[in-house]
Homo-oligomer: A and B are copies of this chain.
Amino acid sequence: EMSVTEMFSNIQEYLSADQDVREDIRKVVQVLEQTAREILTVLQSVHQPSGFKDIPSKCLKARELFCTVRNHLGDLKTKFPAEQYYRFHEHWRFVLQRVTFLAAFVVYLEGETLVTREEVAGILGIEVDREKGFHLDIEDYLSGILTLASELSRLAVNSVTAGDYTRPLRISHFINELDSGFRLLNLKNDPLRKRYDGLKYDVKKIEEVVYDLSIRGLAKEQEGASTGDQ
């Protein structure tokens, strides 16, 4: 009889420890989400008519906040054994996709390039390879990139409203490249596939913006001028 009690006592100890780990993870994730929302607030202001002027300063501010993200993620790593990443994956999956999107957005705004998985990992202070430690799962990276696509279709619209007629063309080019990339992938019927199906709407939306500019001769007009700027 004794032994059963003992055995279950041991098990309870294990379960408690597990619950403590999850509690710890949840707390870090919560502050991480808070920081992510702050970065979003900073970056979302580029949609304001006035916001187009000082994109660089917004990017700088976001970059600073990514320091905090790195700290939180550094903290997160310490909360559980490295090889149990997938045991707790669901806890941080959402927020990791979120900050990946934010990193991709910053990188795009800075240089209009597609952030690589390596770059995201660098910005977040985590690994690319699963073997090396807390890493960025490939599905999470792709999910973050798809969020960027839909944000850029909104940016194309708002940049026209703000009087910038060349940006949509560049966005269109960027998004088409991204679309070609995704077409190389054989996605299963999972959440990622569903999100990818949304990409074609972003592509179409941006094409229509470019069309509106083209038919009014607005695309060409500015193009000459702005090409010099870049």
Task: Determine the chain B residues whose CB is within 8 A of the CB of A30 once the complex forms.
Answer: 186
CB of A21 closer than 8 Å to a CB of B: no
Within 8 Å by CB of A11, from B142, B161, B219, lies B142
Question: What's the Cα separation between A212 and B215 when bound, in Å?
Answer: 8
The interface residues of chain A, by DSSP majority, are classed as: helix
Whether B216 and A186, one on each chain, are in contact in the complex, defined by CB atoms closer than 8 angstroms, is: no
Q: A7-B116, A138-B15, A211-B157 are in contact. Are A48 and B176 (CB under 8 A)?
A: yes
CB of A114 closer than 8 Å to a CB of B: yes
Whether A154 and B207, one on each chain, are in contact in the complex, defined by CB atoms closer than 8 angstroms, is: yes
Task: Determine the chain B residues whose CB is within 8 A of the CB of A1 once the complex forms.
Answer: 177
CB of A210 closer than 8 Å to a CB of B: yes
Question: What's the Cα separation between A37 and B183 when bound, in Å?
Answer: 6
Task: Determine the chain B residues whose CB is within 8 A of the CB of A5 once the complex forms.
Answer: 180-181, 184
Q: A207-B47, A207-B154, A211-B157 are in contact. Are A184 and B8 (CB under 8 A)?
A: yes
CB of A68 closer than 8 Å to a CB of B: no
Chain B: which residue is nearest A150 at the CB level?
B204
Chain A interface residue count: which class? 35 or more
Chain B: which residue is nearest A9 at the CB level?
B184
Question: What's the Cα separation between A229 and B105 when bound, in Å?
Answer: 39
Whether A210 and B7, one on each chain, are in contact in the complex, defined by CB atoms closer than 8 angstroms, is: no
Q: A15-B187, A86-B85, A86-B89 are in contact. Are A214 and B160 (CB under 8 A)?
A: yes
Q: A14-B138, A87-B86 are in contact. Are A160 and B37 (CB under 8 A)?
A: no
Shortest Cβ distance from residue A82 to the other chain B in the assembled complex, whole angstroms = 8
CB of A84 closer than 8 Å to a CB of B: yes
Whether A207 and B7, one on each chain, are in contact in the complex, defined by CB atoms closer than 8 angstroms, is: no
Shortest Cβ distance from residue A87 to the other chain B in the assembled complex, whole angstroms = 4
CB of A110 closer than 8 Å to a CB of B: no
Chain B: which residue is nearest A18 at the CB level?
B138
Q: A4-B177, A15-B138 are in contact. Are A161 and B210 (CB under 8 A)?
A: yes
**4 nearest CB pairs, A to B:** A8-B181, A86-B86, A86-B87, A83-B83
Can you show 6 pairs from A to B with CB atoms below 8 A apart? A1-B177, A4-B178, A7-B116, A37-B186, A160-B215, A163-B214
